[in-house]
Structure 1
Amino acid sequence: MSAPGAYQEPLNQTSALLARIETALVALSALAMAAIMCIVMLDVVMRYAFNAPLVWSYDIIGLYLVGIVFFFALSDTMQQHGHIALDVFVPFIPLRLRHAVQSAGFVASAALVGAITVLEYEQAAAALLADDRIAGVVPFPTWVAHGVLTLGMSVLGLRCLYRAVFHAASAVAGRDLVELPPPPISAGAGEHAE
């Protein structure tokens, strides 16, 4: 049994492949966060020490880096069960019904995330073909921001689809064939217990 917040091993090759992609995206997300901090620090130093602020800093942070930080971490967060979940009554639901309901929920999620991915892909392609750029001192292309969202949401959509299929298989098999969240910490068993 893994502790909450601990890395959870994928149960099959499909999940392992998705996990490798998610790990690469999370690494890029972390690099983007580090870049934001460095750019902001450099901008503050340049602005107040040399009276020469970086004119492009807010554009590159807002257009590219914040999107990378957020969207590249979504799917890995789902894999590690880091999203908010209302699971108080889940242990009381029969196993097959629990997996069937979760499968239906992930089918709906995969459809919604898939629609977002397709729409963003179309936006990225249109922006690339039109050579859309922001109206700033440095005219950064906008298609990259749409591409970031498309990539992050497509991996999230694949994770939702994986969960939908394997929760359905678990409902049919009557046993867990998909990674499940760790059990909640009870009042007396947590790190603050005495």
Structure 2
Amino acid sequence: MAAPGNDQVPLNLPSALLAKVETALVFLSTLAMAAIMCIVMADVVLRYVFDAPLVWSFDLIGLYLVGAVFFFALSDTMQQHGHIALDVFVPLIPFRLRHAAQSLGFAASTLFLAAITWLEIWEAEGAFMADDRIAGVVPFQTWVAHAVLAIGMGALVLRCAYRSIFHAISAVSGRPNVELPPPPITSSTKSEHAE
């Protein structure tokens, strides 16, 4: 998830529609994080105060909730330019060449992530059909974990495909048609170097 105040405004309808999906997924990611905190807190209180721990908490958190927190936030983080990017030399590359290279990079990412998404859909379907469950106190179904990963990665595939297409359009047109990262902050402030 992006830092406050770093909200990226969609430039066109495809990005705006995808941003709505990403916002919904980030909301679910937030709910999953809140659920983790509540379950852990309840488990600690029940374990150390009443000597009655929640025997299912570790399985629920590890199988479902952690995946939802991580994978549901991936695409929005990309939209907000929150992923690590080595962009020191990017401003030095000519505009059209930069967008053409980014289009190719996002196209390769789209194909790779689409393969992962397809494999997870296949795994989710297989686990659902076989009624696959974990060997725990509560036999949680495993297909849900695969589906969570597939949904999160599917949104990321769409964001990468969008970036690939619109970077290509930018390379051809000579003007930006895709959201660009904010410029780096290069000036230092007095508070950074105060002694």
Report deviation, 1:190. Answer: 8.9
Separation in 1 of the partners of 2:112 and 2:98? 21
Q: Name the aligned partner's letter for residue 88 of structure 2.
A: V
TM-score using structure 1 length: 0.95
Deviations 1:26-68 (A, max 9, x none): 0100110010000000000000111100000000000000000
Query: Partner residue of 1:11?
Result: 11
Report deviation, 1:4. Answer: 8.7
Query: Partner residue of 2:161?
Result: 161
| Alignment pair present for 1:90 and 2:108 | no
Give the 3 Å change call, closer, same or farther, for CA 155–97 of structure 1 in structure 2: same
**Residue identity (%):** 70
Give the 3 Å change call, closer, same or farther, for CA 64–176 of structure 1 in structure 2: same
Separation in 1 of the partners of 2:67 and 2:149? 7
Report deviation, 1:191. Answer: 7.0
| 8 A Cα contact 1:121 1:147, kept in partner | yes
Question: Runs of at least 4 residues of structure 1 off by over 4 A?
Answer: none
Report deviation, 1:192. Answer: 3.4
Query: Partner residue of 2:38?
Result: 38
| 8 A Cα contact 1:117 1:153, kept in partner | yes
Deviations 1:50-104 (A, max 9, x none): 1100000000000000000000000000000000000000110000000000000
Segments of structure 2 that go 5 or more residues without pairing to the other structure are: none
CA RMSD of aligned residues (A): 1.6
Separation in 2 of the partners of 1:4 and 1:145? 29
Residue correspondences, number: 192
Separation in 2 of the partners of 1:125 and 1:75? 23
| Partner SS, residue 66 of structure 1 | helix
TM-score using structure 2 length: 0.95
Q: Name the aligned partner's letter for residue 165 of structure 1.
A: I
